[in-house]
Structure 1
Amino acid sequence: MESKSTYLAKLLQSCIASKALSSGKVLHARILRVGLFSDTFLSNNLVQLYSNCGDIVSAHQVFAKMPQKNIFSWNAILAAYCKNRNLQDACCLFLEMPERNTISLNTMISTMLRAGYERQALETYDLIMQQGVKPSHITFTTVFSACGALLDAGCGRKNHGVVIKLGLDDVIRVFDDIDEPNEVTFTTMMGGLAQMNQVKEALEMFRLMLQKGVHVDSVSLSSILGVCAKGGFDERDIGLCNQSHGKQVHTLSIKLGLEGDIHLSNSKLDMYSKIGDMDSAEKVFANMSRHSVVSWNVMIAGYGNKCNSEKAVEYLQRMQCCGYEPDDVTYINMLAACVKSGDVKTGRDIFDSMPCPSLSSWNAILSAYSQNADHEEALKMFRKMQFQYQLPDRTTLAVILSSSAELGLLEAGKQVHAASQKFGFYEDEYVSSGLINVYSKCGKMESSKNVFNKLPKVDVVCWNSMIAGFSINSQDNEAFSFFKQMRQCGFYPSEFSFTTIVSSCAKLSSLSQGRQVHAQIIKDGYEDDIFVGSSLIEMYCKCGNVDQARYFFDIMPSKNTVTWNEMIHGYAQNGYGDEAVSLYKDMITSGEKPDDITFVAVLTGCSHSALIDEGVEIFNSIQQRFGVVPKSDHYTCIIDCLGRAGRFQEVEVILDTMPCKDDPVVWEVVLSSCRIHTNLSLAKRAAEELFRLDPLNSASYVLLANMYSSLGRWEDARAVRHLMSDNRVRKDPGYSWSEHKNDIQNIMENNL
């Protein structure tokens, strides 16, 4: 006969399945009345009942009063907290558990992942793995999702190896031992291999399935289409590229009469959109007898990946006209499309139309403003987010810290710092790197060091942020010191590390240190990196070794606008104007489009080398040939070029027509040229403009007074000096860089 305990347990499980809270409470009372509360199995069921029905308080009360708790009791209350998104209490409970198993681990890390605490999820996983808990496939699904969100390829590769060691090889061996594997077995294997990014093996498995004549259904075809969407295999090994293979699977689905399967059709849409073939995706979509929200979402995401926000909006509007209600994925895909297309206005309109934006949606619109340099609006949106009680995650904080850094807003950075501590991100390397960046941009390197030193674990990004911070604040000796420490601590410098430290060599004109770093760059295999290479060209040019810079420029396998600009600028600054102009022409011939900086560099070369006609020709081509509106820097360069040659009539024509009449630098250049050629009338005009624009700048007074003195016009000179005195303008003292250069050189040699 069935015991009373077993009978009550079955009734409780029925209540759990149907979420019958009232009936469950009646059973709870019955259990107490008959004295069976000490039965751990019944109490565990009560905890699960209240958890499933959302009554977390009652679940906790049952758990707290249990006289005997086992691992299932702890897992039940942990699941209750996690289900209710009470992450703080869940973490405390997880730490208190006398023992943990795979279920405890999976519950905790999957909840952390959903809440945006990817790094904490990985740290928890590492901790529990050290305690000997065996992971499951669910564990690794969560771990790989966290690695993907963090772009942590190293962690992903490490755990890929763990999976293979713990089970994938065994699964393949078991599969090989099966005499007659069916479509379910094959599909499972293909899915597992694809999840582990073993794309080639998954495709070979599908080929084997066809060779064995195993029945192919819509599920197996959807699975292999997902593999084709991933790509990443060698065409020579498989004999088919991902696009052609996907099309062959599409053809096979037609032959098998599976065109009407909506799940399979969505898989085709997904495959075509991910490989960028939106024409084929359009045809599949048009031929579908019916659609789902997933179908529309895939099309919107596909056009988003092609940076075509207009088509994405078109599909959103069609979706709504057809009576489909957009879901959270729809809106996130739309926002992503607008971000990638730089269409922030449409993105904001989409965001404002959302009835209840998710955290991912908030992060998408914040990123849109930040990436398009509208940092003020990003901060406004962050404040709005707080007013609506939407808690941030690490991505939110990192985006806002980036905007705060760009604006130099120290107080905003401090507020985000406080928020990061409040929400538990004070040890997150991603957020900490952003904090270091803010404090560095605001000149608070001591605060940057405090953030860095308090981190229990740092990564190369944090090291790079510190090195860049020192470089930004002209503390190049400290930058070298940290660069040395980073290497001593076992971190390999990245492209960014080398670019920054080479820039420090350039600023200090330290050729010997630059050569040492260059040797390390070659050793570590970064010599072909465009940004590292550009910084090396800058360093050699600033150290006066233009021939070495040009040699390195010529052997670079690829170049971008920055690379060309550095070499042209290097020639210009070292007095090689002809070479600067020649290289500029080579740049245009190569098909590389010049930008604002290119024109400044080549015009500087023309000015320094008295290539007046070439300079005028290039200046006139800026807008006429390249459609670039000249800026004040370009006007300054051409006026300097003409002024040095004494062609003041042309200078005055430019001064009368240029839009940047309130730029003091332009007038300083004019005044300097007038002093050389004793053009007193234009000098007076330039000086008067400078007195208006920058009345406390002593340089304009001194230059004009010296001009009068050189011409013997002593009364006019005294009048200028009296004006300077009346305006309480003080002449700045001069100093010599050479007095300190040797000392800093010694510091660098000791630190590198």
Structure 2
Amino acid sequence: MLLQRNATKIRSLSDAINVSGALSTTRSSWSQNIQPLEHGNGISLDDVTYTKLIQSSTQSGCSTHGKLAQLHMVKTGYTPTLFLHNTLLNMYFKCNESDLALQLFDEMPERNVVSWNSLISGYIHLGQYPLAKEAISKARIANINLSKHTYASMLTICSQTGDLELGKVIHSLIIVTGIGVGIDAFLTNPLIAMYSKCGRIDQARLTFDKSDQLDDVSWNSMISGYIQAGLHNEMLKILIKMHQCGVRFSNYVLGSVLKTCCLNFNHSLTWGKLLHSCCIKLGWDLDIVVGTALLDMYAKIGDLNNAVLIFNLLPNKNVVMYNAMISGFLESGEKSLNLFREMQRDGFKPSEFTFSTMIKACITCNDFEYGRQIHGLICKNNFVKDEYTGSVLVEFYSKYRSMEEALICFNSSNKQDIVIWTSMIAGYSQNGEFEKSLILFCELLSFGLKPDDFTISSVLSCCGNLGGVRCGEGIQCYSVKSGIEKSGVVLNSLMYMYGKSGDIDSANRVFEVADKMDVVAWSVMICCSAHHGCAKETLRMFEVMIRSGIVPNDVAFLGVLTACSHGGLVEEGLRYYETMKGKYGISPTEKHCACIVDLFGRAGKLSDAETFIMESSFSESPVMWRALLSSCRIHKNTDIGTQVADRLIKLDPESSSSYVLIYNIYNDVGMDSKAKKIRNLMSNRSIKKEPGLSWIEVENRVSSFLVGDKSHPKSGKIYAKLNDLLEKIKKVGYEDGKNGFLVNPHSEKLAVCFGLISLPSCAPLRVMKNLRVCDDCHRVMKLVSKVEKREIVLRDSIRFHRFRDGICSCGDYW
């Protein structure tokens, strides 16, 4: 018998404590109501006394006294009644001892509906849903006429597990057994909840309409179901019907509906204000639940005047109210910080949400030091392990390029949620640490977490920036396997990855199969096409987008202006620039204006470019003058180039690119003495030129090269191929100048040679470089593509060059 086995388990306890003594020294709260019939070891107590002892354990959640009472029954030879067995069964479940409960259930000589209901409810209470389902099956096999309490518990399981099929079976049993005749609210409510949580809101409504008895919970359940399903109009209809039926709105109903008015559905603000009036009429406007919902609604829709008014009227403020206000003022930044200080002065303890919102406010108002102070408070309040707070901290430090601090925040959290992993991966990506981002992604997979579409988007962007098309293809396969390949952010990142890696054809294929092409997808493809030098195709794509009814954004116009600049389409570029400002009301950014400067400059209209800069709002921007200086080098204009260089060096004295550009201008026209002065100036100011670096992906590995690099394991074969190519291209017209092929083997030449000896003859060579390609390398690439009959795609810091049969896609206009 179970009672005897439990007696053995508690033997040490009973030896230390005399049962009668234990009974006489129990807590006064319940001992006053228990009068033992006898205090001798061999005398049993009665059912009432045993029941009260066991129930005291049930109420306290500690099974000690219940076990002692059970032990006393064993020692005195007392035979418990069915009622006492059921009481013991319930006690074991409430004290989280399901194993003992199951043993007791198995050995009970008699069971009734209460026994089965206690078993099923106990498993549900402990969250052991599979065992609860198994118990339900056994009860059906045993032909137990389950009560409506059991059916209600069974429906709760289906709601928690999303088991629609079992829910339908239970619904059928309720009807077949007759217990569901004129289904009352006790069963209607869990049925509505079950169908709603299983995604069958239509069945939930059918159950609701056919029920003979509805209470407040029924209406609330139906409203909650429509909210979960996102059917806001239906929710409002049921709310109107509830009012027509004379059911008084509760603060819970009003609070739930007001929360949905924060969402952008038809007339949401109108409904929100209407409900606000209703709240005032019913006297609920100062209720803490309704008042907080009203405050949150106005704050989220941006009506801060009404939000402040409600905030000031509410008598008993709490942390949630302050959080809603701080979040509402997030865009202004400074007001959120002031409200946070007021909250602390009023003695309210900030929550995790408060701190995470404050970090966002610091990002908005660009206050790094205050953000660090908030981080200190987060540590002080022991919220460092909270993953949502951690992800916001990672985002904060990533913005300020403090990746070491971001990594500390990441490692301090529990790392159980995909959001914080995505924040860290995106942080590395935004700061150019693409390899670390991909390594962290691999660690995420080994951790057993499933990446979401935003995670996949971040790592695809990393692959694009690295030019790792093979790695990107592997991640694309993973997205297909995970079923998120059709996500908009994933498709856009795939187009970006292929376009940035030099495979514009694959980018186009992804674009063509996309189910929904929004402005982001169009903008990505337009920019990819522009950077690949497909000027006419870019403009055609832009016009198709306009005809499709898509309103272009600033990124789409940036792609169009870039295409016009690279294609020498001056008139078209100026026309699109004016259209952007006039027709679409988009204010030009620094990048848009730099495109116009480049457009004028490449066309040789250097004076027009200079005038444009002086008349723009970015006349003090180094980017604008650097674009003009680059054009001065193309046209070998030393007069304007010298003036622009002097201005540029004053604006940005630490940038090496300005010195290098003016040095190259002097060097190209043979002004060696002036070129030497620039070199000396760089040396005196400790300005170091960024070394040229090129890389190529071969066999899923990225190999990088510097100028004259001989560190690669296949360096001997690479230089042997270099010599061989030199002889071949000399035969078709290559002349070795002072910056010759062998004299100064630039990094892109070494990368191309490595690709030629490593990749199949049918595979195109895709090489990436961090700087602009020089004239000599550009000329060499054209000739190599001809003699080797290979396609070479070279991405420099500005654009793509696609070499085929001795011709470059840029048309030598770069």
Q: Same fold judged by TM-score > 0.5?
A: yes
Larger radius of gyration: 2
Question: Is it true that 1:214 corresponds to 2:181 in the alignment?
Answer: yes
Alpha carbons 2:498, 2:504 under 8 Å: kept: yes
How many angstroms apart in 2 are the aligned matches of 1:204 and 1:338?
A: 44
1:329 is aligned to 289
Indicate how the Cα distance of structure 1 residues 45 and 420 shifts in structure 2: closer, same or farther if over 3 A, else same: farther
Report how far residue 282 of structure 1 moved: 5.6
Specify which of 537, 558, 563 is matched with residue 495 of structure 2.
537
Report how far residue 327 of structure 1 moved: 2.1
Question: Is it true that 1:315 corresponds to 2:275 in the alignment?
Answer: yes
Indicate how the Cα distance of structure 1 residues 664 and 47 shifts in structure 2: closer, same or farther if over 3 A, else same: farther
Question: Is it true that 1:745 corresponds to 2:702 in the alignment?
Answer: yes
SS in 2 for 1:738: strand
1:733 is aligned to 689
How many angstroms apart in 1 are the aligned matches of 2:519 and 2:286?
A: 42
Q: How does 1:136-535 map to 2 (within 5 A)?
A: 162-163=128-129, 165-171=130-136, 174=139, 190=155, 193-198=158-163, 202=167, 212=178, 214-227=181-194, 229-230=196-197, 232-233=199-200, 242-243=201-202, 246=205, 248=206, 252=210, 270=224, 275-277=231-233, 280-281=237-238, 283-284=240-241, 286-289=243-246, 291-294=248-251, 295-306=253-264, 308-338=268-298, 340-344=300-304, 346-370=306-330, 373-404=331-362, 410-453=368-411, 458-535=416-493
1:91 is aligned to none
Report how far residue 605 of structure 1 moved: 1.2
RMSD: 5.2
Amino acid at match of 2:443: Q
For structure 1, the residue ranges without an aligned partner over 5 or more in a row are 1-35, 49-68, 79-99, 107-133, 144-158, 234-241
Report how far residue 544 of structure 1 moved: 2.0
Report how far residue 214 of structure 1 moved: 0.6
How many angstroms apart in 2 are the aligned matches of 1:563 and 1:511?
A: 19
Q: Which whole-Å deviations, capped at 9, do the CAs of 1:70-125 have from their partners, x for residues lacking one?
A: 996998599xxxxxxxxxxxxxxxxxxxxx9765779xxxxxxxxxxxxxxxxxxx
Amino acid at match of 1:363: N
Q: Which whole-Å deviations, capped at 9, do the CAs of 1:638-685 have from their partners, x for residues lacking one?
A: 343234324578768866865555544334434554665688998899
Q: Which whole-Å deviations, capped at 9, do the CAs of 1:254-303 have from their partners, x for residues lacking one?
A: xx5x79x6665555555556631255246325524363343543442343
Amino acid at match of 2:564: C
Report how far residue 608 of structure 1 moved: 0.6
Indicate how the Cα distance of structure 1 residues 178 and 369 shifts in structure 2: closer, same or farther if over 3 A, else same: farther
How many angstroms apart in 1 are the aligned matches of 2:396 and 2:642?
A: 44
Q: Which has the higher helix share?
A: 1
User: How many percent of aligned residue pairs carry the same amino acid?
Assistant: 25
Question: Is it true that 1:567 corresponds to 2:525 in the alignment?
Answer: yes
Amino acid at match of 2:182: H
Indicate how the Cα distance of structure 1 residues 338 and 689 shifts in structure 2: closer, same or farther if over 3 A, else same: farther
Amino acid at match of 1:166: L
Indicate how the Cα distance of structure 1 residues 336 and 586 shifts in structure 2: closer, same or farther if over 3 A, else same: farther
Alpha carbons 2:120, 2:153 under 8 Å: kept: no
1:239 is aligned to none
Indicate how the Cα distance of structure 1 residues 686 and 529 shifts in structure 2: closer, same or farther if over 3 A, else same: same
Alpha carbons 1:546, 1:571 under 8 Å: kept: yes
Question: Is it true that 1:582 corresponds to 2:540 in the alignment?
Answer: yes
SS in 1 for 2:523: helix
Alpha carbons 1:190, 1:203 under 8 Å: kept: no
1:52 is aligned to none
Indicate how the Cα distance of structure 1 residues 299 and 536 shifts in structure 2: closer, same or farther if over 3 A, else same: closer
Indicate how the Cα distance of structure 1 residues 406 and 474 shifts in structure 2: closer, same or farther if over 3 A, else same: farther
Q: Which whole-Å deviations, capped at 9, do the CAs of 1:581-606 have from their partners, x for residues lacking one?
A: 22222333344332111111121111
Indicate how the Cα distance of structure 1 residues 104 and 38 shifts in structure 2: closer, same or farther if over 3 A, else same: closer
Alpha carbons 1:332, 1:361 under 8 Å: kept: yes
Q: How does 1:717-728 map to 2 (within 5 A)?
A: none
398-407 vs 676-685, which deviates more? 676-685
How many angstroms apart in 2 are the aligned matches of 1:455 and 1:672?
A: 48
Q: Which whole-Å deviations, capped at 9, do the CAs of 1:698-738 have from their partners, x for residues lacking one?
A: 87799789989999999xx99xx99x99xx98866353233
Indicate how the Cα distance of structure 1 residues 105 and 391 shifts in structure 2: closer, same or farther if over 3 A, else same: farther
Alpha carbons 1:401, 1:438 under 8 Å: kept: yes
1:613 is aligned to 571
2:777 is aligned to none
How many angstroms apart in 2 are the aligned matches of 1:414 and 1:400?
A: 11
Amino acid at match of 2:274: E
How many pairs are equivalent? 609
Report how far residue 576 of structure 1 moved: 1.4
Alpha carbons 1:265, 1:288 under 8 Å: kept: no
Indicate how the Cα distance of structure 1 residues 103 and 279 shifts in structure 2: closer, same or farther if over 3 A, else same: closer
Amino acid at match of 2:249: S
Specify which of 12, 16, 41 is matched with residue 26 of structure 2.
41
Alpha carbons 2:159, 2:194 under 8 Å: kept: yes
TM-score (norm 1): 0.65
Report how far residue 330 of structure 1 moved: 1.1
SS in 2 for 1:553: helix
Alpha carbons 2:193, 2:221 under 8 Å: kept: yes
SS in 2 for 1:304: coil
Question: Is it true that 1:626 corresponds to 2:584 in the alignment?
Answer: yes
Amino acid at match of 2:287: D
Alpha carbons 1:553, 1:567 under 8 Å: kept: yes
Indicate how the Cα distance of structure 1 residues 712 and 381 shifts in structure 2: closer, same or farther if over 3 A, else same: same
Amino acid at match of 1:341: I
Indicate how the Cα distance of structure 1 residues 273 and 610 shifts in structure 2: closer, same or farther if over 3 A, else same: same
Alpha carbons 1:440, 1:470 under 8 Å: kept: yes
How many angstroms apart in 2 are the aligned matches of 1:474 and 1:710?
A: 33
Indicate how the Cα distance of structure 1 residues 215 and 458 shifts in structure 2: closer, same or farther if over 3 A, else same: closer
Alpha carbons 1:477, 1:747 under 8 Å: kept: no
Alpha carbons 2:463, 2:471 under 8 Å: kept: yes
Specify which of 513, 534, 542 is matched with residue 555 of structure 1.
513
SS in 1 for 2:357: helix
How many angstroms apart in 1 are the aligned matches of 2:239 and 2:197?
A: 20
Report how far residue 623 of structure 1 moved: 3.9
